[in-house]
Amino acid sequence: MRQIKAVFNGNFDSIENIKVSPFSRAYTFSDSVYEVLPFFNKRLIAFESHIERLKRSVDAINIILDSKKVTDEINQLLSSSDFDSGYVYYQVTRGQDLIRSHMYSDQMDVETFGYITPCSFETKKLNVMICEDTRWGRCDIKSTSLLANVLHMNNAKSLSCDEVIMHKDGILTEAGASNLFFISNGNIFTPALTNNILPGITRSILIEALLENGIKVLEGDFNYYELQKATSAWLTSSTKGMAPIENIINIEHSLNLDDSLYMSCKKIFDSKFFI
């Protein structure tokens, strides 16, 4: 096994030495939330925003978390690693049951787990497919319960796709592990934040950076017929950055990778994200 640096319940070790109980609620119920915190040139990108979102996730599922301890552990993983660029995965689980039970005890010790890994953040052109969003009603919580995403994304993989774009009753939501933007008639659109969408940190970095440069992003409800008319579309996430969509395999579309507005957005984004 690779020597991955990790931390479990405050103890730093390599990943193969970490033992998790099968009664951990992460294992039996995926009763846990997580963050993926990117870093570039040894600098954590939008660190406070990630910690704030983790705080919102634990609050939403009634877990009490010491954010200062999390911050220290993430910084320690970063300072003890040789990687210049990569990400820290950090998961918070409600705790361990004495015996598996949907109803949890109030006396549980929260279980935390983090590890650090390199990532090149190389921009990849994406092949995607549209599919129906069959996830639960609280996708704004960054929960590890990702079975629907896993099934959709593996179906997409079997059709040589890198990602999916989901819709609920025709209204575009997001991708399996990223947020969606597209350009139509010279305007930039992205689905508005609701309970059906994860409020991506990369999404908000991009919207803010564009606004600082006088470019407005229109947030709202859009259907996939509007995506068919788009001249450019891309996905954002902490590990993908801003990745252009080259092809949507199951709808007709007119995507053009050389769209000049897309190019300007990408330049603005890269100068804000990779510093």
Work out whether 193 is an interface residue with ligand PLP (CB under 6 A).
Answer: no
Q: Which is nearer to ligand PLP, 239 or 256 (CB)?
A: 239
Contacting residue, 93, 96, 178, 184, with ligand PLP by CB under 6 A: 178
Work out whether 117 is an interface residue with ligand PLP (CB under 6 A).
Answer: no
Which tokens hold the place of 237? Answer: 């996430």
Work out whether 177 is an interface residue with ligand PLP (CB under 6 A).
Answer: yes
Q: Considering only residues 2-61, where is the footprint of ligand PLP by CB under 6 A?
A: 36
Contacting residue, 200, 207, 232, 243, with ligand PLP by CB under 6 A: 200
Contacting residue, 57, 96, 117, 237, with ligand PLP by CB under 6 A: 237
Contacting residue, 93, 112, 117, 179, with ligand PLP by CB under 6 A: 179
Which tokens hold the place of 216? Answer: 């407005």
Min dist CB 13 to ligand PLP, Å, is: 26
CA distances from 210 to 22, 38, 121, 230 (A): 46, 20, 20, 19
Work out whether 236 is an interface residue with ligand PLP (CB under 6 A).
Answer: yes
Min dist CB 174 to ligand PLP, Å, is: 5
d(CA 146, CA 56): 18
Q: What is the x/- site pattern for ligand PLP, positions 127-156, by CB under 6 A?
A: ------------------------------
Min dist CB 224 to ligand PLP, Å, is: 17
Work out whether 173 is an interface residue with ligand PLP (CB under 6 A).
Answer: no
Residues found near ligand PLP in the complex (CB under 6 A): 36, 174, 177-179, 198, 200-203, 236-238
